[in-house]
Amino acid sequence: MVQSHRIVSLAIMPTLCLGIPWASNVGNSTFGYSNTSFYLHGRPYQMIGGQIDPQRVPREYWRDRLEHAKAMGLNTIFSYIFWNELEPSPGVWDWDGIRGMNDIAAWYQAVQDAGLQAVLRPGGYICGERDWGGMPAWLSQIQNLTVRSNNPQFLEHSDYYFGNLSQQIFKYQVSQGGPILLAQVENEYGQYGSDHAYTAALSALIAKHFNLLQYTNDGGSQTQFPNGPVHGVLAEIDGDPYQGFATRKNSISDPTEMGPSLDGEYYFAGASWILNQASSFSLYMFHGGTNFAFSNGGLNFGQLEAVTTSYDYGAPLDESGRPRELYWELRSAIANYTGKTPNIVQTLPMSNISDVPLRPVATLLEESSGTIKSDSPINMEQLGQSYGYILYRYQAPYGVNISGQLHPGDGPRDRVLVYVNGNKRGVIDATYNPPQNVTIQIVGGDVLELLVENQGRVDYSSPLLDQRKGIIGDVYIGSNLVSPWTIQSYSVPTPPQGLIGKGTNHLPMITVSANSTPVWYKGNFKLDGRVAGTAAADTFLSISGGIKGVLYVNGYNLGKYWTVGPAQSQYIPGAWLREDNEIIVLELEPQVDKELVASGSSERVWYNNPDPDCISCKSANPNP
């Protein structure tokens, strides 16, 4: 059973046995704060922190990343927790994920084993360039539910989420002798709204399930910061500390929100100023990691900007866990301030992989069981699907002859590939302003197929956006309503079972035609020169000849690629490699005159290419 605790408002707490004003004696361990300092076990504690999100990092490398953090001089690890990955369907919990990356309890055990402290950033909304800011896609199907609001349905599901998360990590709170010191309420809510009843209700739910002091984290501008604080909760800032700390000092009138200064997302290279202020901070990110599979989010300020699979973030510890120059600069600044020089952690070399030819072995849009028929299109979430692709198929009855511009519902969500009789006729993509027009003609017997890709639900935007994917509304060709539809989901979290584990030469090679529908490609390679199953075999894998698609290695979904870039290669953890390996690629836009070839390099490749589907239109910032 989950234990319930409520922490008394710090403003009305008496001086405790340590003699520290406003300190909270929580359980057997003491963590608290005064107006100017945090205190841990009775001693002043300055958080020299950095962000690592465990669900972005292969579990096999958690210890390595934490040891690198410690070697740079950090003492506290801040972590987002992604609700959508933990509860992929209502009431269905996945505490494993890809190779154990959802084992949040194991993450905090690793933090404790490394001798580090932790700060919990549980959301439910976390932003973080994740699909819908870490909130589950199925929330969009609950009647009358409004996210990030004082809405009974949203709070009910948030309550359930916090309760289940608490059961996993309760013993890792500082009150139980664990490393977790603080819990964040929401995330940068002041940039989004000003409903203090909502944030107070969320704070109460966190207090119900966790025995932790809390804080809010908001942008440091005068227009954003005042909207976020909660009575009885420590109010903190992120971003520019020069502006933010001044705004915080001048804006807070409620003494229950006051305390030491913390920059919860510190983006700047130089740390000396903030250290010398005796202020706390967390580098965002210390180590970014990877948006594996379909977990990337997007931005929207009038048009979609999808986030890359890579979440390198230019962090001190790069996506592969190797220190870059910034790491050593920060390490030097921290050592000069603390007077302590930690031991350096060994960095292993990266691996190269020779060219691996990929052969076309199957098509995606084959007829299969499980299709749904409907007069109007049904959105992705209604079918219990959160990610991937959804196909809408219409066969024109004899006697039909219509032509004109195609209108897929209320607009592209997010990228619509248009096929007539199995031949691609165009692409309508929300990342372009305006999206391209596609004009088609349909006569009796023709088959119109619309394959819609979810490129990532928006995690940060100016308006409150409808996050449903697929086609919303009816489809028209010119002024002609198109109906009925046969609908098929292609969530493709893994490749088809018939392709996994079979040597490429044992699969029939198919012929790719011009303007073909999506095709599965496969290749095999042996790992040379590095030890399989270790970080020494890490590599960055490029797919030359590919336009847009998904990369799978040994059955694991490594994420999306797109020729437009900027990332032209994908991080492949060596821990996920074997002596004999298979690469499977779902190429959405196969080219009849191009062979697909995979190759691994010790260096990531960054550059941009024009989108062959959109030569004449302007891209906002098209990323996979």
Within 8 A by CB and 6+ apart from 362, the residues are 496, 498, 499, 507, 510, 519, 520
Identify each DSSP E strand in 240-388 by its residue range: 262-266, 280-287, 298-300, 304-306, 353-363, 372-374
Parallel, antiparallel or unpaired: strands 475-477 and 480-482 = antiparallel
Does some domain include residue 1? no
Question: Does the pLDDT of residue 387 top 50, yes or no?
Answer: yes
Please state the rounded mean pLDDT for residues 527-553. Answer: 93
Instruction: Assess if residue 75 is contained within a domain.
Output: yes
102-115 mean pLDDT: 98
Tell me what pLDDT residue 20 has.
Answer: 36
pLDDT-above-90 percentage for the chain: 85
Q: Tell me which residues are annotated as active site.
A: 188, 265
Mean per-residue pLDDT over the chain, rounded:
92
Asked if 283 and 48 count as a contact pair (C-beta separation under 8 A), the reply is: no
Examine the pLDDT at 17 and tell me if it is beyond 70: no
pLDDT exceeds 90 at position 177: yes
- CATH number of the domain encompassing residue 535: 2.60.120.260
What six digits make up the tokens of 508?
């029939």
Determine the Cα–Cα distance for residues 6 and 597; give it in Å rounded to an integer.
Answer: 58
Q: pTM score, two decimals? A: 0.94
Are 449 and 473 contained in the same domain?
yes
Residues 458 and 397 grouped into a single domain: yes
Residue in 225, 118, 131 with CA at minimum distance from that of residue 171: 118
pLDDT at 621 over 80: no
pLDDT band at 614 (very low <50, low <70, confident <90, very high): confident
Q: Which of 439, 460, 490 is the last residue of a domain?
A: 490
First to last CA, the chain: 42
63 SS3 class = helix
Tens of pLDDT, residue by residue over 123-146, are 999 999 999 999 999 999 999 999
pLDDT digits over 278-289, tens only? 999 999 999 999
Whether 241 and 315 map to the same domain: the answer is yes
Quick one: 518 and 415 in the same domain?
no
What is the spatial distance between Cα 575 and Cα 364, in angstroms, rounded to a whole number? 29
| Res 597: pLDDT | 97
Q: Which of 573, 530, 565, 526 has the alpha carbon at shortest distance from 548?
A: 565
Looking at the domain assignment, is residue 174 inside a domain?
A: yes
Clarify whether residues 90 and 222 are in a common domain: yes
Q: Specify the amino acid at residue 586.
A: L
Q: Structural domain of residue 448, as residue ranges?
A: 365-490
Give domain status of residue 73, yes or no.
yes
Claim to verify: residue 514 and residue 594 sit in the same structural domain = yes
Strands 447-453 and 415-420: what pairing? antiparallel
Q: Which of 490, 514, 545 is the last residue of a domain?
A: 490
Residue 396: both structure tokens together:
């024109």
Mean pLDDT within 252-272: 93
Give the tokens for residue 495.
């490749």
The answer on 479 and 532 residing in a single domain is no
The pLDDT of 158-173, averaged and rounded, is: 98
Q: 428 and 306, same structural domain?
A: no
Pick from 24-33, 379-388, 523-532: least confident: 24-33
How far is 176 from 184, CA to CA, in rounded Å?
18
Check if the beta carbon of residue 131 is closer than 8 Å to that of residue 459: yes
Residue written as tokens 């929580």? 26
Q: Are 479 and 569 contained in the same domain?
A: no
pLDDT (0 to 100) of residue 270:
77
Kindly report the CATH number assigned to the domain that includes residue 164.
3.20.20.80
- pLDDT score, position 492: 96
Tokens at 141, concatenated: 């199907």
Task: Please check whether residue 518 lies inside any domain of the structure.
Answer: yes
**210 within a domain of the structure (yes/no):** yes
| Total domains present in the chain | 3
Flag whether 42 is in a domain.
Answer: no
My answer on whether 375 and 482 are in the same domain is yes
- Domain final residue pick, 470, 490, 510: 490
- Phi, psi for 448 (deg, rounded to 5): -100, 125
Cis bond before residue 128 (omega within 30° of 0): no
Q: Which residue has the higher pLDDT, 250 or 11?
A: 250
Are 464 and 583 members of one domain?
Answer: no
Residue 228 lies in a domain: yes
Within this chain, do residues 467 and 597 fall inside the same structural domain, yes or no? no
